[in-house]
Amino acid sequence: MEKQFIVSARKYRPDSFETVVGQPSITRTLKNAIAGNHLAHAYLFTGPRGVGKTTCARIFAKTINCTNLSSDTEACNTCDACLTFQESRSFNIHELDAASNNHVEDIRNLIEQVRIPPQMGKYSVYIIDEVHMLSQAAFNAFLKTLEEPPAHAIFILATTEKHKILPTILSRCQVFDFHRIQIRDIIAQLQRIADKEGINAENSALNIIAQKADGAMRDALSIFDQVVSFCGNEVTYQQVIDHLNVLDYEYYFQLTDFFLTGEYKKALLVFNKILEEGFDGNNFISGLSTHFRDLLVSRDPQTIELLEVGQEIGNRYQQMASSCSVNFLYEGLKILNSCDLSFKQAKNPRLLVELALMSLSRLHGNPAESVESAMRPVAQTLSPSGPQPVGPGKAPSAVPKEVPVKTESAPTPPTRPPQVQMTRLSDLQSRKPATAEPPVGSTIPEGLKEDQKKPDILTAALLKSYWIEFAEKLNVDQPRLYSTLTTQIPDLSADKKIILNLNNPLQEKAIRSIQTELLQFLRARSGHFDLEMQTSVPEEQTEKKLYTQEEKYQHLQKKNPDLDLFRQSLNLELE
């Protein structure tokens, strides 16, 4: 007769504390409690699915009834209590599924059963799975028994949603929080099972399975069985990503090369190929965000341990990270995160992703495509006689631009398309000639004289141009703030204080959220590092509307106090 197939999640389910994967602190605590005879009457095991809650409950129940414990507090698996447990005929261990037995009658039957002492061993253990599914009345019926059970009864409650448990229940239990299993622990367990089954699996293939399982060992074993059915005894990385519909790392590395060289056209073609292969744009953006995060942690030996990929892929990450600046990765993560948040609300999701890819392609600093250099020929074309003077008696040959100062603390903001700034050309014509100005977030270099640190005059027109320039940076990510900044233009007082009059408290709250960044930009841009900002909102003067008869009567009484005396004299009542 052919041997029946048993799925790996059942076949290799842990039967001792030592074989539990990824929960060392919990298993050690339970073993110490058994060894020291410090057993509580109620436990609550909580955590995500597939991390070992019910498994640990069964092992704990078997171990406390074992009559021949080993030196390391493990069940012997040879005594009568252990054998009956392994053969699923133990009368000391009772399991209840609260998802289907969640009524008061079910709990009352359980309470009646708790009174019966065990026929073999010292304890009767009651494992209630998915306990959060119990009704309010069932919880209340169970409360007294849970607080003062018989000496032989121990309750183990398991749930994935601890927040749904009544606080009165939680206060009567020892709570153990199970965490998601680490990828490296899942890979190690899958490798042990593959060796036992005679399966040759690539480490990178097991890594993909572990990532797909999202911290759940049971899910990882189910995916492993599925992949083995597809691949046979030779499990390769390429077969796994094809079967599980996972995007290959090679696409991300190829796109990063295009971003570094500014080849947005090739990046768009790669994205089109990804869509043709059936991958979703949202999953692509999420994967690319993870890719940038992995590049960032690969730059430093102290954070390289946060990289959860195979050895071969890890080496590629280290090589590519050396050619990516921190500013590039940081700004790239901001762009991808913004795209991910806006994806579900976008009417044209593909265009949103393509805009993100083009923005990433412009991050690595190509001065030939900067906004100022793109505007310069436009300004000369619009003016019939070349560039106009920007100050009295001064006519520079080109629109002034900032002198770049490299700093490690401030990330380089992404450049914007030249069309955004073209509408502000009239404001740019009022600027003074170019001076060596520190960028946002930088400090004034030591050794500069006072007259070199700031220009002679800061006019309201110049302040307006800087104000609009900052607002343009928020046009895509924060359109409401952009609208507020472009409609509420500030005034400049004689003592270099920026006066901003706003329409309502909501605008004031929005401005305060970026006030520090805005002031830093204006100070660095103008060279006046003593600038301060003052906001004001007009007080609300709205009359309260009168709705009820009583409110109307009280309003009239305030105007004429004798009205109440008149009402009492005639014995009148309000309708």
Sheet order of strands, 174-177 included: 93-97, 124-129, 153-159, 42-46, 174-177
Asked if 107 contacts 143 with a C-beta cutoff of 8 angstroms, the reply is: no
In this model, does residue 442 exceed pLDDT 60?
no
Residues 132, 229 within the same domain: no
DSSP 8-state secondary structure symbol assigned to residue 302: T
**pLDDT for 473:** 82
Tell me which amino acid residue 323 is: S
Burial of residue 443 (number of CB atoms within 10 Å: 0-12, 13-18, 19+): exposed
Boundary-marking domain end, from 142, 159, 177? 177
One domain for residues 303 and 350: yes
CA–CA distance, 524 with 454 (Å, rounded to integer):
9
Q: How far apart are the first and last CA of the chain?
A: 92
429 belongs to a structural domain: no
CA atoms within 13 A on the CB side of 292: 24
Asked whether residue 53 falls in the same domain as residue 14, the answer is yes
DSSP 358-372: HHHHTTT--GGG-HH
Given a cut of 50, is residue 402 above it in pLDDT? no
Q: Which of 317, 333, 361 is the last residue of a domain?
A: 361
pLDDT tens readout for residues 14-47: 888 988 998 999 999 999 999 888 899 999 999 9
CATH code for position 63: 3.40.50.300
301, 329, 361 — which closes off a domain?
361
In a shared domain, residues 562 and 531 = no
Can you give the residue range of the structural domain that contains 228? Answer: 183-243
Count up the domains in the chain and report the number: 5
Identify the pLDDT of residue 540. Answer: 55
CA-based Rg of the chain, rounded to a whole angstrom? 35
The region, left, alpha or beta by phi > 0 then psi within -120 to 50, assigned to residue 54 is alpha
Together in a domain, 354 and 293: yes
Sequential DSSP letters for 335-390 = HHHHHHHHTTT-SSHHHHHHHHHHHHHTTT--GGG-HHHHHHHHHHHHSTTSSPPS
Residue 426 lies in a domain: no
Place of tokens 């797909």: 212
Could you give the 3-state DSSP secondary structure of residue 399?
coil
For residues 237 and 106, membership in a common domain is answered with no
Q: What are phi and psi of 427, to 5 degrees?
A: -75, -35
Q: Are residues 163 and 30 in the same domain?
A: yes
Do 121 and 59 fall into the same domain? yes
Other C-beta atoms lying within 10 Å of the C-beta of residue 37:
7
Q: Classify residue 391 by its DSSP letter.
A: B
Dist. CA 417–CA 397, nearest whole Å: 23
Interstrand relation of 153-159 and 42-46 (parallel, antiparallel or unpaired): parallel
Say if 2 falls within a structural domain: no
- In tens, the pLDDT along 297-318 reads 998 888 888 888 877 888 888 8
In this structure, are residues 369 and 261 in contact, taking their beta carbons and an 8 Å threshold? no
Does the residue 219 lie in any domain? yes
* 467 vs 409, higher pLDDT: 467
Average pLDDT, stretch 504-511?
Answer: 82
pLDDT score, position 27: 92
| Highest-confidence segment of 10-19, 431-440, 472-481, 552-561 | 10-19
pLDDT in tens, 64-91: 988 888 888 888 888 888 888 888 888 8
- Answer yes or no: do 165 and 110 share one domain: yes
58 plus 156 within the same structural domain: yes
Run of H or E residues at 34: helix 24-35
pLDDT bucket at 127, cuts 50 / 70 / 90? very high
- pLDDT confidence tier of residue 544, bands split at 50, 70 and 90: low
CATH number for the domain that contains residue 514: 3.30.300
Same domain, 21 and 159: yes
Residues contacting residue 507 through CB under 8 Å, at least 6 positions apart: 484, 488, 537
Tell me whether residue 383 is in a domain. no
pLDDT of residue 212: 87
List all residues 6 or more positions away from 508 whose beta carbon is below 8 Å from its beta carbon.
502, 535, 537
Give domain status of residue 267, yes or no: yes
pLDDT band at 92 (very low <50, low <70, confident <90, very high): confident
Residue 330 in any domain: the answer is: yes
pLDDT at 547: 65
**Residue 520 CB neighbour total at 10 angstroms:** 18
Q: What residue has token string 């390391």?
A: 72
Cα(303)–Cα(318) distance, rounded to whole angstroms? 11
Q: Is residue 366 part of a domain?
A: no
Q: Are residues 161 and 200 in the same domain?
A: no
